[in-house]
Amino acid sequence: MTTHLHESSDSSPRYAVLFPGQGVQRPGMGEPWRATESWELVESVSRASGFDVAELLLTADQETLSRTDHAQISVFTASLLAWSELRRRESDARVVAVAGHSLGEYTALVAAGVLSVADGAWLVGERGRAMAEVARRRPGAMAAVMGGDVDEVAALVDTFRQEGADLWVANHNSPQQTVIAGSRTAIDAAASRAADAGLRYSVLPVSAACHSPYMEPASAALRRALELTHFAAGVLPVVANVDARAHYGGSQWQELSTRQLVSRVRWVESLNTLHEELDCTAFLDIGPGGTLAGLARRALPGVPAHKFTAPAPLAVAA
């Protein structure tokens, strides 16, 4: 099914565009965009980041893409290609705000005009390398906990922390899905207690405890790169992961992006900010997967959520 982005000038939705993070990567995800005018962005991203992005998007296998640094630059570029094509094909669409989940926040900053493509690509490359190095030196783990609200999961986490375990709430993705991060021992131990509480539990296929204090060394390394980067005023508000508040451009993003690596992703709160404070009347998930459209529907069932995952003239998949 497809839905036109704008029916008329009087009834045009006010879109919040959402950009995905690491985890949505898949082999061949660049193929739909290869014949588009936007494909020229791939060379720019490759040059700025130091990765062969065309190879990652077209020929890399799942094992190659599962590496943190490869996954991040690949998802960033695929989402950027989708955004570029959306603006070409849907120039009348009323995009009034953007947000990105974790890594996706960098794509959102480029879309908002806060970062240039080159600076965004360089930062994503530095971020991915720093996180991969931390995961190598101090492996961690993550798990999705479903069936309970964030307060229930936070209480479970607090119980472990009182016992001295390394465990934290990492992402609040939907009203009934919270991701936790910490040591492998703590993540494995939490499974049985989650089951006892009637919660569903799924260990994620990652080797890092993202959005937790385990990422402090990566945060420090990224901070040095952020301090060398120009953050422009931008043309759209970006709702930040760390505080779920709308921010325009400027050097404040050095601090926000530094904190993001070690802080909870407040995704449900961010969706509420987009809808209630910025008056967005529809969500549009840009890039691979369509996961964020699903999360938006669960968080705000009355707000339409669409996805744009491949070139399609004047329409998006509903």
Q: Which is catalytic among the residues 70, 211, 275, 306?
A: 211
* C-alpha to C-alpha distances, 149 to 155, 173, 174, nearest whole angstrom: 10, 10, 9
**Residue 21 covered by a domain:** yes
pLDDT value at residue 81: 97
What CATH number did the domain enclosing 156 receive?
3.30.70.250
Per-residue confidence in pLDDT tens, the chain, 318 aa: 344 454 445 578 999 999 999 999 999 999 999 999 999 999 999 999 999 999 999 999 999 999 999 999 999 999 999 999 999 988 788 999 999 999 999 999 999 999 999 999 999 999 999 999 999 999 999 999 999 999 999 999 999 999 999 999 999 999 999 999 999 999 999 999 999 999 999 999 888 999 999 999 999 999 999 999 999 999 999 999 999 999 999 999 999 999 999 999 999 999 999 999 999 999 999 999 899 999 999 999 999 999 998 887 544 444
Count of structural domains, the chain: 2
Tell me how far apart the alpha carbons of residues 139 and 132 are, in angstroms, rounded to a whole number: 10
In a shared domain, residues 8 and 91: yes
In a shared domain, residues 147 and 281: no
- Active-site residue flag, 174: no
Domain residues for the domain of 25 are 2-137+213-317
pLDDT value at residue 10: 54
| Residue with tokens 């490869």, as numbered in its chain | 70
Nearest to 167 by CA among 149, 177, 154, 148: 154
In a shared domain, residues 305 and 218: yes
In a shared domain, residues 153 and 128: no
- Active-site residue flag, 211: yes
Tell me how far apart the alpha carbons of residues 283 and 96 are, in angstroms, rounded to a whole number: 11
The last residue of one of the domains, among 203, 228, 247, is 203
**Residue 208 covered by a domain:** no
In a shared domain, residues 124 and 152: no
Task: Name the strand (E) or helix (H) holding 196.
Answer: helix 184-196
What CATH number did the domain enclosing 264 receive?
3.40.366.10
In a shared domain, residues 186 and 274: no
Tell me how far apart the alpha carbons of residues 303 and 318 are, in angstroms, rounded to a whole number: 12
Single-letter code of the amino acid located at 80? L
CB atoms within 10 A of CB 46: 19
| Residue with tokens 């209480």, as numbered in its chain | 155
In a shared domain, residues 196 and 224: no
Single-letter code of the amino acid located at 56? L
Q: Is the overall model pTM greater than 0.85, yes or no?
A: yes
In a shared domain, residues 98 and 151: no
In a shared domain, residues 241 and 111: yes
- Which residues in 146-157 are b (16+ Cβ under 10 Å) and which e? bebebebbbebb
Q: Which is catalytic among the residues 46, 49, 102, 212?
A: 102
